[in-house]
Structure 1
Amino acid sequence: MAKIVINKSHLFHNLQQIEEKINDKNKIAVVLKDNAYGHGLLEIAQLCSEYGVRNAVVRTLDEAQAIVTFFDNILILADTAPDTYSHTFHIAINSLEALQHIPKNSKIQLKVDSGMHRNGLSLNKLEKAFLGACKRNLVITGVFTHYRSADELGSEYFWQKQNFKHIKEEVKRLCEKLFLPIPSFHSANSSAVFRDNFCMEDMVRVGIALYGYLDTNPIFNNPVLKPVLSLYANKISTREV
């Protein structure tokens, strides 16, 4: 019979590598979407909580509800019409239209397009998003983006990072204008974490690095990560090729 084994020591090793890079365990947000990349949502959530991680990222409300007892903050990426409120949940907003479907008084985080052009609000839509959120009594707790090529040597990463800098400046201006608290900012995925310094941002979102993998070019002096999942099965037949 086949079986999957999750290696706790390997998971903790990977988390330690991430923690040492950013110098703050509290800034780690583990990406647990899609059943924790196939590793088991509840199993990985429980282990990350045991390590001391307090933030998680998931795709749907169902995933968030399943792990709500393990984390202080859970960012929900792709469920824009949640019917259950929790002070732990933060709903990602990718468009102005999505604001109309969020229950009033919910916590939201604005996803902004810094150059990936997949989803997210453009810079010139930020003020409308802030005004729309205020109108519906939505609490903006974060503003974030995603780097499309942090694992590559091209220039895209650098101009996306510069674009996000401008976005952060605009957000701070809007907060001052509307008398709102400045939200958290985060942009780093696994590859970005290990090629740059993100100590000044409020959070890093680690997905594949958590599970022991990293696609970043070797020139960036990558850490040694350890695969968390192993698959075992009994041999049932042997063939000569």
Structure 2
Amino acid sequence: MAYITINKENYFYNLNECLKHINNNIDNFVLILKDNAYGHGLLQISNLALEFGINFIALKNQNEAEKVKNKFKNILLLSQLAQDYESNENYILGINSLDYFNYTKKNDKIMLKLNTGMNRNGLQINELKQAIKIIKEQKLRFLGAYTHFSSPNNIDKQKKLYKEYCTYLQDNYDEKLFFHSSNSSAVFLNKNDDLAARCGLAQFGFCDVEANLKPVMSLYAQKLSSRTIQKDEIIGYDERFKATKSMLVSTYDLGYADGLIYKENIKIKNNIKILGKISMDSFVCESNQNELCIFDNAYEFAKEFNTTVYEIFVRLNQNIKKIII
């Protein structure tokens, strides 16, 4: 059976590298575990995060949060639809627009998403006065606010507006607010002006800027069968591979249903070439090994597809077995 290994030592190493950039204050460390912890396994990674001492995470929505709702004191829901939200003492609803306040209820815990130039979600600066008014009228538990940078190149431009937002909010609200803007890139560029930071991809060993990190995931496939094919025989759908010699080939138990990108003639770890088209549940290589490592560095594998490690990770089927090593 195909499986994923999660290197605990490397994972903890990466978390410590992130913490160095926020004065080692773990209470100000928001760990992003959305989309099945970037494909690494929400249940497995959340257990490691708890062991490390993390108490504040961010997830996509309440469906994800239900799986770990009793583990963490603070769970920020980044993309939850407000009309479907059911409050929980550990949940914090991310407010992506003023419309969300049509569905919030007294005592709901909230954080405002601030649009500082990425133009994906969030409130504009001219909407903050109305937001504060509604928060007070509805007696919501307003904990803070956050923004997201579009790229490392745009951080300084967005930060200027972000600081205006934060100053306005704090000046117009009596209780101390918790602000966080820095993603992994901003953290490792040392452009974190907040007391807090959010780290997503960096925890798994990758960053869009230079950072001293270690890959956490390795992906393996196991052999289903072997056979010898002769010159001019084909492999797979649409006869996309024809042998130029006699070859010993094997079929392995990973395919595009498991998250491999559907492409021909790609190479996996150790420069082994997949022959012909990837099938839904398998691929074929010139090999007789009982198992093959697909990748132990997702960045190198991603280059085969001209894509990012994000896509490589989140495509992986959640049912692939995960082993902590």
Matched residue, 1:229: 217
Q: Is the aligned partner of 1:104 residue 2:98?
A: no
CA distance in 2 between partners of 1:225 and 1:83 (Å): 36
For structure 2, list consecutive stretches of 5 or more residues without a partner in the other structure.
Answer: 224-249, 251-283, 288-325
1:86, distance to aligned residue in structure 2 (A):
2.0
TM-score when scaled to structure 2?
0.66
Residue 166 of structure 1 aligns with which residue? 164
Match of 1:219 in 2: none
Q: Which residue of 2 aligns with 1:39?
A: 40
User: Who wins on radius of gyration, i.e. which is larger?
Assistant: 2
Map residues 67-82 of structure 1 onto 2, 5 A cutoff.
67-79=68-80, 80-82=82-84
Cα distance in 2 between the residues matched to 1:51 and 1:137? 34
* Deviation (angstroms), 1:232: 1.1
Q: Distance in 1 between matches of 2:220 and 2:65?
A: 30
Which residue does 1:86 correspond to in 2?
88
Aligned residue number for residue 185 of structure 1: 179
Q: 1:92-138: CA deviations, max 9, x gaps? A: 00111111112221000000111111110000100101111222111
Partner of 1:203: 196
Q: Distance in 1 between matches of 2:85 and 2:160?
A: 37
The CA distance in 2 between the partners of 1:47 and 1:61, in whole Å, is 21
Aligned to 1:14: 14
Q: Among residues 118, 121, 126, which one is paired with 2:128 in the alignment? A: 126
TM-score with structure 1 length normalisation?
A: 0.88
* 1:60 aligned partner: 61
User: Could you tell me how far apart the structure 2 residues matched to 1:86 and 1:119 are?
Assistant: 23
Letter in 2 for 1:195: L
3-state DSSP of counterpart to 2:203: coil
SS of equivalent to 1:209? helix
**Deviation (angstroms), 1:78:** 1.3
Question: Which of residues 278, 286, 293 is equivalent to 1:239?
Answer: 286
Per-residue deviation, residues 123-157 of structure 1 (Å, max 9, x unmatched): 0100101111222111110111111112x3xxx22
Higher relative contact order at CA 8 Å, sep ≥6: structure 1 or structure 2?
Answer: 1
Q: How far apart are 1:173 and its partner, in Å?
A: 2.1
Equivalent residue, structure 1, for 2:142: 140
* Structure 1 contact 82–102 (Cα < 8 Å) conserved: no
Q: How far, CA to CA, are the matches of 1:203 and 1:191 in structure 2?
A: 14
- The Cα of 1:82 is off from its aligned counterpart by 4.7
Write the distance in 2 (CA, Å) between the matches of 1:69 and 1:171: 30
Distance 1:56 1:101 in 2: 23
Q: How far off is 1:42 after superposition?
A: 0.8
Query: How far 1:234 moved relative to its partner?
Result: 2.8
Deviating beyond 3 angstroms after TM superposition, the runs of 4 or more aligned structure 1 residues are: 81-84, 237-240
Matched, 1:114 2:100: no
Cα offset for 1:239?
Answer: 3.5
- Write the mapping of 1:152-163 to structure 2, written as runs, cut at 5 A: 152=153, 156-163=154-161
Structure 1: gaps of 5 or more residues: 217-221
Cα pair 1:22 1:197 within 8 Å, conserved: no
CA-based RMSD of the aligned residues comes to 1.6
Distance 1:83 1:201 in 2: 29
Q: Distance in 2 between matches of 1:50 and 1:94?
A: 31
Amino acid at match of 1:172: Q
